Chains A and B, each alone.
Chain A
């Protein structure tokens, strides 16, 4: 195996992505118990839902006292992009049917990003499985550590954990804010969520903001490449 072997490079990339992503399972675990979920419920989310954005959304709505229906809906809507990733990965990885269920569960931002960045199918497979499995193991391990630590902390506000939750969402949305459309939708979402918060049940303003994005996405057509780049 030479250093230029694409599969070796994919594996190396997978390990660094897994470490970087897995580590922030600590903040999820701590925030989840701070939001009022039990340790087993926290672990169930990391093991079964296994989609960072959806998990943070779920505990965010629950923690702010929102309706459980709104928590389920927010998590599900945020998981929608994973379905699109699957459609990208299926032709790329060309997996046998028996591997599609485990592959589906490991389909997240990170595994898709690493797989699609590889030059060959075999490297794409290596990148996908190593990243998916690596993030899964570390994410769950660090969720457990965070939940155990969070349980012993007392008032989460004293440690700024509520601000940490907001910062986590900001970090998740940050790389997606390139482009006018995304920036406009983000600004509209903030306004809609804040203006309707005093008027609507907790959790619903967030869903209303998503509705704005659906309408904007359906009625506007992406303008053909501006400054030579497509959004």
Chain B
């Protein structure tokens, strides 16, 4: 079995274990405001960092290419309350269009 398969299964098991813990652990453990607050902030931080990395890096370099204006279009669509699928499609179309025009 490849290392990638191992990682897929390990991460999946970890995610299921967390879900199960929520349903079987004593409620007051997880209901603490501080725990909830940290979990919410970790989610925000991870997703924001992923946006940044997915938009402006390639390997270990910072790059500016068609992804950046595409993300701008996605942000405008989100501000206008466009549904998820439309946001994603608009971003892809923007990047694809700009690349057709010669942007890296």
Contact = CB atoms under 8 A, between A and B. Distances in A.
Whether chains A and B associate is yes
Interface string B71-104: 1001100100001110111111111110100000
A170 B90 CA distance: 13
A64 interface: yes
- Helix, strand, loop or mixed for chain A's interface? helix
Given A160-B92, A163-B70, A166-B70, A83 B21 contact: yes
B48 A54 contact: no
Interface string A63-90: 0110011011011111111111111011
Interface residues of A, number: 99
A36 B3 CA distance: 13
Given A205-B49, A213-B45, A86 B20 contact: yes
A100 B62 contact: no
Interface stretch (A2-10, A103-111, A113-121, A133-141): A103-111
A214 B42 contact: yes
A58 B71 contact: no
B23 A103 contact: yes
A69 B11 CA distance: 9
Contact of B41 (A37, A185, A205): A185
B64 to A, nearest CB: 11
Contacts of A37: 4, 8
- Helix, strand, loop or mixed for chain B's interface? helix
Contacts of A23: 84-85
Given A166-B70, A174-B78, A186 B50 contact: no
A209 interface: yes
A2 to B, nearest CB: 30
Given A188-B45, A210-B45, A217-B38, A170 B92 contact: no
Interface string A166-179: 11111111101100
A206 B92 contact: no
Nearest to A56: B50
B25 to A, nearest CB: 7
26 contacts: A20-B85, A24-B85, A37-B4, A41-B5, A44-B12, A51-B15, A54-B11, A60-B54, A75-B11, A76-B11, A81-B39, A82-B15, A84-B30, A103-B23, A159-B92, A163-B70, A169-B51, A169-B54, A189-B48, A194-B53, A194-B62, A197-B61, A206-B50, A209-B46, A209-B49, A210-B46
